[in-house]
């Protein structure tokens, strides 16, 4: 519908890394972008400023996705801008710990599950309520961000994180079937080793470089390459695709 009001894309965890790259590409595609963040207000402001400097429309909204009331407030803020037709579930954490599962503190595991699983579910719930043609929405696309860590399970580093991302894959498939007749497509991008600050925050700044020999393409991904895959799944070019989990992993 072309009524002069831009469609809105909500991107969670968009203050840096993959989320920031997605926000920038969504703005370039013509969306008004809601840049969600939990704690990195400066990073979110920088992303918004970059979008605006390029002529796009964006604003930042603080919300912890593990709190359903904050998720609802995030979508209320987005709806005030225009109709939400795209939602990217990118927010995720590792707990910033490296080691065997038996050594991961219970509070870290709970927090990872709260954000990566419960938070993603809360965002999906709210997205369906807003996008569903059965509820007066325009329909649209939900893209979840998982990880190829689900393949090997990240033993000795982030097994708890890999398990949480396995839940993302399963939810994508189930929800896609559930809402296919409501005008909503649900897909998932599973990045492999990617050059972001995630690894340094966990004390492994050289992790991507160390993994390169095991990647057929010999390098980690750039965040913009992951963002490109997300944008394709959001686009009309992927209009007959739902329930897919697309690896962006250099062949690994």
Would residue 31 be called left, alpha or beta, if left means φ above 0 and alpha means ψ between -120 and 50 degrees?
Answer: beta
DSSP E strands: which ranges in 176-242? 184-191
Residue 239 tokens read as: 């209009």
Nearest residue to 235 (alpha-carbon basis) of 94, 26, 54: 26
Instruction: Report the candidate in 111, 81, 118, 77 with the shortest Cα–Cα distance to residue 94.
Output: 111
Instruction: List, as one string, the DSSP characters of 8-45.
Output: EEEETT-SSHHHHHHHHHHHHTT-EEEEEESS-HHHHH
CA 174 to chain CA centroid, nearest Å: 18
Q: Does the annotation count 161 as an active-site position? A: yes
Backbone angles phi, psi at 142, to 5 degrees: -115, 125
- Which one of 31, 37, 161, 240 is the catalytic residue? 161
Please state, in angstroms and rounded to a whole number, the distance separating the CA atoms of residues 147 and 245.
10
Closest CA to 49 of 37, 38, 30, 35: 35
Considering only CA atoms, which of 173, 12, 188, 181 is closest in space to residue 87?
Answer: 12
Instruction: Determine the Cα–Cα distance for residues 107 and 161; give it in Å rounded to an integer.
Output: 13
d(Cα 216, Cα 249) in Å, to the nearest integer?
9
Q: What gap in Å lies between CA 148 and CA 194, rounded to an integer?
A: 11
Q: Which residues are catalytic?
A: 161
């Amino acid at each position: 519908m072309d009524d002069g009001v831009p469609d809105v894309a909500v991107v969670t965890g968009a203050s840096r890394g993959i989320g920031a790259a997605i926000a920038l590409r969504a703005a370039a595609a013509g969306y008004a972008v809601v840049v969600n963040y939990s704690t990195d207000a400066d990073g979110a402001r920088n992303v918004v400023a970059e979008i605006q400097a390029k002529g796009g429309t964006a604003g930042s909204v603080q919300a912890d996705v593990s709190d359903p009331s904050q998720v609802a407030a995030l979508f209320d803020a987005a709806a005030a801008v225009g109709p939400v037709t795209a939602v990217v579930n990118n927010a995720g954490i590792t707990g910033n710990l490296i080691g065997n599962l038996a050594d991961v503190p219970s509070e870290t595991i709970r927090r990872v599950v709260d954000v990566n699983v419960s938070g993603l579910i809360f965002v999906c719930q709210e997205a369906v309520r807003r996008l569903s043609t059965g509820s007066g929405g325009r329909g649209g696309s939900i893209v979840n961000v998982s990880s190829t860590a689900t393949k090997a399970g990240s033993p000795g580093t982030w097994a708890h994180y890999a398990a949480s991302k396995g839940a993302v894959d399963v939810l994508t498939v189930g929800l896609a079937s559930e809402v296919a007749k409501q005008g909503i497509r649900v897909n998932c991008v599973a990045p492999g080793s990617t050059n972001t600050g995630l690894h340094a925050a966990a004390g492994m700044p050289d992790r991507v470089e160390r993994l390169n020999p095991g990647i057929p393409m010999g390098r980690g991904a750039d965040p913009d390459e992951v963002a490109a895959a997300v944008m394709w799944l959001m686009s009309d070019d992927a209009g007959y695709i739902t329930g897919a989990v697309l690896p962006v992993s250099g062949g690994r």
